[in-house]
Amino acid sequence: MFRRLMPAAAALGLCMGFGASAVLAQKAQDTVRMAIIDPFSVLDEYHHALDESGAFDRIVYQPLITYDEYKKQWVNILTTSWKRIDNQTLEFDLRQDVKFHNGNQFNADDVKTTLEYLIDPKVNIRFKERYTWVDRVEKLGEHKIRIHSKQPFSTDLGILGYRMRIRDGRIINELAKTNNVPDYGKTAVGTGAYKVASIGRNDGLLMEAVANHWDKSGYYPQPVKFVRGVFIPDRQTQAAQLITGNLDVMRNITTDDAKNFAANPNLAVTPTSSSMLLYVTLDALGRSKNKAFQDERVRKAFMMAIDRKLLQKEIIAGGSIAKLPNSICWESMIACEPGKTSPYDYNPAEAKRLLAEAGYPNGLDLSMDVHEPVKNVGEAIAGELRKVGFRTSIDSIPSALYLRKRGDGEFTAFTGFYPSGTHPDAQVMFTLFFDANRDYWQDPAIKKAAADGELEFDDAKRAALYAPALRMVNEKAYILPVSELPIVWAHHKDIVVNKNPLSVAVPILGDYGWKK
Calculate what percentage of the chain has a pLDDT beyond 90.
80
Burial class (CB in 10 A: 0-12, 13-18, 19+), 211: exposed
Three-state DSSP class for residue 355: helix
Task: Count the neighbouring beta carbons within 10 Å of the beta carbon of residue 360.
Answer: 19
Calculate what percentage of the chain has a pLDDT beyond 70.
96
Tell whether 94 and 232 lie within a shared domain: no
CATH of the domain at 161: 3.90.76.10
More confident residue, 437 or 12: 437
- Residue-level pLDDT at 15: 43
- Residue-level pLDDT at 3: 43
Q: Would you say residue 14 has pLDDT above 60?
A: no
- Residue-level pLDDT at 157: 96
- Residue-level pLDDT at 51: 76
**Cα–Cα distance between 394 and 366 in angstroms, integer?**
8
More confident residue, 145 or 125: 145
Q: Would you say residue 438 has pLDDT above 90?
A: yes
Tell whether 18 and 122 lie within a shared domain: no
Q: What is the pTM of this model?
A: 0.88
Taking residues 454-483, report their average pLDDT. Answer: 97
Strands of 111-210 (E only): list them.
Answer: 134-141, 144-149, 194-200, 204-209
Taking residues 494-509, report their average pLDDT. Answer: 86
pLDDT in tens, 65-124: 999 999 999 999 999 999 999 999 999 999 999 999 999 999 999 999 999 999 999 999
Tell whether 473 and 505 lie within a shared domain: no
pLDDT in tens, 134-148: 999 999 999 999 999
Three-state DSSP class for residue 491: strand
Paired strand residues for 199: 205
Tell whether 423 and 504 lie within a shared domain: no
- In this prediction, residue 508 has a pLDDT band, given cuts at 50, 70 and 90, of confident
**Cα–Cα distance between 66 and 77 in angstroms, integer?**
7
- In this prediction, residue 21 has a pLDDT band, given cuts at 50, 70 and 90, of low
Tell whether 414 and 492 lie within a shared domain: no
Q: Would you say residue 8 has pLDDT above 90?
A: no
Tell whether 492 and 479 lie within a shared domain: no
CATH of the domain at 354: 3.10.105.10
Print the domain residue range for 241: 8-43+53-59+192-273+487-514
CATH of the domain at 14: 3.40.190.10
Tell whether 369 and 295 lie within a shared domain: yes
More confident residue, 20 or 327: 327
C-alpha angle 455/432/284, rounded to 5°?
110
- Residue-level pLDDT at 122: 94
Tell whether 341 and 456 lie within a shared domain: yes
Assigned domain for 182 exists = no
pLDDT in tens, 46-59: 998 877 888 899 99
- In this prediction, residue 2 has a pLDDT band, given cuts at 50, 70 and 90, of very low
Assigned domain for 344 exists = yes
Tell whether 246 and 132 lie within a shared domain: no
Lowest mean pLDDT, pick from 10-14, 62-66, 119-123, 231-235: 10-14
**Cα–Cα distance between 287 and 88 in angstroms, integer?**
37
- In this prediction, residue 6 has a pLDDT band, given cuts at 50, 70 and 90, of very low
Assigned domain for 307 exists = yes
- Residue-level pLDDT at 420: 87
Amino acid at site 432: L
Assigned domain for 374 exists = yes
- Residue-level pLDDT at 414: 98
Tell me which of 147, 176, 205 is where a domain ends: 176
Assigned domain for 2 exists = no
Q: Would you say residue 22 has pLDDT above 80?
A: no
Average pLDDT of the chain to the nearest whole number: 92
Q: Would you say residue 185 has pLDDT above 60?
A: yes
Assigned domain for 243 exists = yes
Contact indicator for 241, 35 with CB cutoff of 8 Å: yes
Tell whether 369 and 423 lie within a shared domain: yes
Tell whether 312 and 358 lie within a shared domain: yes
- Residue-level pLDDT at 466: 97
Domain count, the chain: 3
Contact indicator for 380, 315 with CB cutoff of 8 Å: yes
Tell me which of 131, 151, 176 is where a domain ends: 176
pLDDT in tens, 365-414: 999 999 988 999 999 999 999 999 999 999 999 877 888 999 999 999 99
Tell whether 280 and 269 lie within a shared domain: no
- Residue-level pLDDT at 16: 44
Amino acid at site 140: L
